[in-house]
């Protein structure tokens, strides 16, 4: 599938451009409004109803599925006072993982990755806008990444309804990182089935192609995880007004998850590189065995060819040509030489 690139030389730079794929016909909005004592959910929320997040006594989570309707996305962001550059970053699905602080909100965009049956990683961009009492999440398509978070809100499980939207952002990021762990584990399981665990198995050339595919996937995961770790490092070094100090320890946990993912990815990369070297070593070993057999056969035939060459000469006077037992003697000599050479090669451990 050809990647759609953003044209930076637009005549009107204030008009945002969506660079992804249209997964749904209409945007889907879900609004969650909650505090320690109250909870409200609107699974079919409409942009026309949206007036902002005015009640400071409540926390809000607005989740948006689908990004192709740029007018609605721009309208929602306009009501929140989101900068045009952040709007374009939301709609540009080729955007790298990015974190930026604005006066009234924090903007964060990253990739979520899941494995698929056809060995291609399913990648989706997610963006978040974190304010003083709200969190807006943008997804390319509907997914069940955050279902367990919704259940915690509905059933008042844990401390989620007692905490602010920055804690909610932590839970959503943790869910995304969990997808990375699932992907890494899936890649590990597939590597186990490549046939490199047994040295006696001759892997096929298709296995090498699969290894190269996994290498690219692991590189893609590492490239995506590293900016998330950098984002958490910034939280550790700097003080952001939209992240409560008592919640920073949860973001430290995200850093540990990122480090674990990077370590696991590095281990897989080393293993894949080792498998590549093993593949070529096995092929070299097989080739050496073939060449050894051919060399033994060719070496045995050298004296035999010499004998038959001598008696194949067209001289009239050759002593053995008229000998009654000459033909039988030549065969006996050939067999004796062949057996003697085989015994010699065996003694030298050639085979």
Distance CA 301, CA 288 (A): 20
DSSP 349: T
Q: Mind listing the pLDDT tens digit for each residue in 11-68?
A: 556 677 888 777 776 888 999 999 988 999 998 888 888 888 888 889 999 999 988 8
CA nearest 153: which of 28, 29, 27, 30?
30
| Model confidence at 128: pLDDT above 90 | yes
Predicted confidence at residue 212, as pLDDT, reads 87
Spatial CB neighbours of 33, under 8 Å, sequence gap ≥ 6? 39, 40, 41, 55, 58, 59, 60
Distance CA 104, CA 136 (A): 13
**Where are the CATH 3.30.460.20 domain residues in the chain?**
28-282
Q: Mind listing the pLDDT tens digit for each residue in 263-311?
A: 999 999 998 888 888 888 878 888 888 888 888 888 888 988 888 888 8
Classify 28-282 by CATH class.
alpha beta
Write phi, then psi, for 217 (nearest 5 degrees): -65, -45
What does pTM read for this prediction?
Answer: 0.79
Q: Mind listing the pLDDT tens digit for each residue in 159-197?
A: 999 999 999 999 999 999 998 998 898 888 888 877 665
Alpha helices in the chain (DSSP H): 70-80, 84-91, 147-155, 165-192, 205-237, 248-310, 326-347
Distance CA 45, CA 26 (A): 12
Write phi, then psi, for 3 (nearest 5 degrees): -75, 130
Q: C-alpha distances in angstroms, 115 versus 58, 190, 210, 229, 253?
A: 37, 11, 14, 22, 24
**Where are the CATH 1.20.58.340 domain residues in the chain?**
293-347
Q: Find out if CATH 1.20.58.340 is the number for domain 293-347.
A: yes
Predicted confidence at residue 39, as pLDDT, reads 92
What is the pLDDT averaged over residues 204-231?
85
Do 255 and 232 contact (CB within 8 A), yes or no? yes
Total residue count of the chain as it appears in this document:
351
């Amino acid at each position: 599938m050809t990647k759609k690139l953003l044209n930076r030389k637009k005549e009107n730079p204030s008009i945002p451009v969506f660079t992804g794929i249209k997964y749904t016909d209409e945007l889907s909005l879900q609004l969650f409004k909650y505090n320690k004592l109250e909870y409200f959910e609107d699974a079919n929320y409409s942009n026309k109803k949206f007036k902002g997040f005015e009640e400071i006594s409540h926390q809000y989570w607005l989740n948006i599925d689908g990004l192709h309707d740029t007018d609605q996305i721009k309208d929602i962001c306009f009501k929140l006072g989101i900068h045009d550059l952040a709007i374009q970053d939301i709609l540009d699905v080729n955007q790298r993982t990015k974190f930026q602080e604005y006066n009234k909100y924090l903007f964060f965009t990253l990739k979520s990755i899941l494995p698929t049956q056809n060995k291609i990683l399913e990648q989706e961009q997610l963006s978040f806008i974190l304010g003083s009492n709200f969190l807006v999440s943008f997804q390319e398509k509907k997914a069940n990444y955050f279902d367990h978070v919704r259940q915690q809100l509905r059933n008042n499980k844990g401390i989620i309804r007692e905490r602010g939207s920055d804690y909610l952002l932590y839970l959503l990021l943790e869910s995304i990182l969990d997808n990375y762990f699932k992907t890494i584990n899936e890649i590990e399981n597939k590597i186990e089935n490549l046939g490199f665990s047994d040295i006696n198995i001759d892997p096929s050339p298709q296995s090498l192609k699969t290894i190269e595919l996994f290498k690219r996937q692991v590189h893609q995961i590492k490239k995506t995880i590293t900016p998330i770790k950098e984002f958490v490092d910034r939280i550790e070094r700097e003080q952001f007004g939209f992240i409560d100090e008592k919640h920073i320890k949860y973001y430290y946990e995200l850093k540990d998850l990122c480090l674990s993912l990077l370590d696991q990815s590095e281990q897989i990369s080393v293993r894949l590189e080792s498998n590549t070297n093993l593949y070529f070593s096995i092929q070299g070993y097989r080739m050496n065995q073939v060449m050894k057999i051919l060399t033994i056969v060719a070496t045995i035939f050298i004296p035999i060819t010499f004998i038959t060459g001598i008696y194949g000469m067209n001289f009239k006077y050759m002593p053995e040509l008229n000998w009654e037992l000459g033909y039988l003697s030549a065969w006996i000599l050939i067999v004796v030489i062949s057996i003697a050479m085989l015994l010699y090669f065996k003694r030298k451990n050639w085979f």
